[in-house]
């Protein structure tokens, strides 16, 4: 009998802002023995969409998004609620716009099974494909984070950190430290920047309210305007395959994704071009922020 693996996530108003949360949860169900999702008080049918998955391994936590200061802390709070409810030895975390590819399940499970007795391994780092403007292109260069902790050992002292992008270990003295992790040759498929232009603008306006005031938002994301998919500096053609759970969504989006034109993207600032050149030459990303410590 293998190890018990949990998946966990959180979401609110996924239908309104076009999050592929059903696909995300289904990708977790492909490898996990249970999946816990904290579903915030939504007004758009998000709960019903998740319930329609109809898998007994899926556990829904009904939550309320309390306003905190700073506002983005609610993301970490919701993540923590879901993590605390997990019963697995290892817990795989996906945000509502992140999906796993079925071809990676065996690699993930084998890595978790082999690390069970090696207590040095507290987490696993996964790499990223950031799709931008279309399902055919991914962002490249230091404008995009290239890896994050997405699997943690369920020890009871792991906490969601910052705006829920990473995790920390809570120490007995009240302080926190980064987790010791191993990096796996597995990618998270991040679809957060592939939405119809008007929906993308609505999502950014809603999301940035957790960080900024109304004046800042109106200046950068004017109400009623479509999002201008020219905010990235560089993309490249994606030559791989998408997860099977995404195929229907991708087919439905062809009506607008076909108009994305990467030739209109602006040129990156000089310091980013220099950093990207060094990374391409050496594999080293200058000044990269690491939300973890890699085991040798």
Sign of the C-alpha dihedral, residues 138, 261, 27, 49? positive
- Count each helix (H run) and each strand (E run) in the chain, helices first: 9, 14
Helix (H, G, I), strand (E, B) or coil at 95: coil
**For the domain that residue 292 is a member of, what is the CATH number?**
3.90.550
Per-residue CA distances from 166 to 3, 100, 128 (Å):
24, 17, 14
β-strand pairing of 147-153 with 158-161:
unpaired
d(CA 189, CA 248): 16
pLDDT at 68: 66
β-strands 58-63, 34-40: how paired?
parallel
Give the structural domain span for 209. Answer: 1-296
Angstrom CA distances, 234 to 38, 43, 131, 231, stand at: 34, 36, 12, 9
Token pair recorded at residue 82: 């879901």
Determine contact, residues 288/174, Cβ cutoff 8 Å: no
The first and second tokens of residue 234, run together, are 């560089």
The secondary structure of 114-164 as a DSSP string is HHTT-TT--EEEEEEEEEESSTTEEE-STTS--EEEEEEE--S-EEEETTT
Of the CA atoms within 13 Å of residue 9, those in its CB half-sphere come to: 31
Domains held by the chain: number:
1
The predicted structure's pLDDT at residue 214: 81
Tokens representing 146?
């290239």
Helix (H, G, I), strand (E, B) or coil at 191: strand
Look at residue 70 in the predicted model and tell me its pLDDT: 60
The low-confidence residues of the chain, meaning pLDDT below 70, are: 1, 67-72
The per-residue pLDDT for range 77-126, each reduced to its tens digit, is: 999 999 999 999 999 999 999 999 999 999 999 999 999 999 999 999 99
What CA–CA distance (Å, rounded) separates 232 from 99?
22
Q: How many CB atoms lie within 10 A of CB 194?
A: 25
Burial class (CB in 10 A: 0-12, 13-18, 19+), 86: buried
Confidence at residue 231, expressed as pLDDT on a 0 to 100 scale: 86
Contact 169, 179 (CB under 8 A): yes
The H or E element that residue 219 is part of is: helix 214-220
């Amino acid at each position: 009998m293998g190890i018990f693996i949990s998946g966990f996530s959180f979401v609110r108003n996924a239908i309104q802002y076009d999050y592929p949360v059903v696909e995300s949860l289904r990708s977790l169900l492909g490898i996990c023995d249970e999946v816990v999702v904290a579903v915030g008080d939504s007004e758009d049918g998000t709960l019903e969409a998740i319930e329609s998955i109809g898998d007994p391994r899926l556990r829904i936590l009904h939550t309320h998004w309390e306003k905190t200061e700073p506002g983005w802390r609610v993301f970490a709070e919701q993540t923590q609620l879901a993590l605390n409810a997990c019963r697995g030895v290892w817990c795989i975390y996906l945000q509502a716009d992140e999906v796993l590819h079925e071809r990676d399940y065996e690699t993930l499970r084998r890595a978790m099974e082999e690390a069970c007795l090696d207590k040095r391994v507290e987490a696993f780092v996964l790499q990223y494909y950031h799709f931008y403007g279309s399902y055919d292109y991914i962002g490249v260069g230091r404008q995009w984070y290239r890896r994050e902790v997405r699997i943690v050992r369920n020890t009871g002292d792991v906490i969601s950190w910052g705006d829920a992008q990473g995790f920390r270990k809570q120490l007995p003295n009240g302080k926190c430290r980064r987790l010791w992790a191993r990096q796996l040759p597995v990618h998270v498929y991040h679809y957060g920047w592939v939405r119809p232009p008007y929906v993308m603008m609505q999502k950014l306006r809603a999301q940035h309210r957790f960080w900024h005031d109304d004046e800042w938002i109106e200046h950068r994301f004017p109400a009623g305007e479509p999002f201008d998919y020219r905010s990235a500096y560089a993309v490249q053609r994606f030559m791989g395959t998408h997860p099977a759970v995404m195929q229907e969504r991708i087919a439905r989006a062809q009506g607008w994704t076909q108009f994305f034109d990467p030739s209109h993207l602006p040129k990156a600032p000089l310091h980013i071009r220099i950093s990207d050149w060094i990374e391409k030459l050496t594999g080293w990303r200058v000044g990269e922020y690491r939300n973890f410590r890699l085991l040798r």
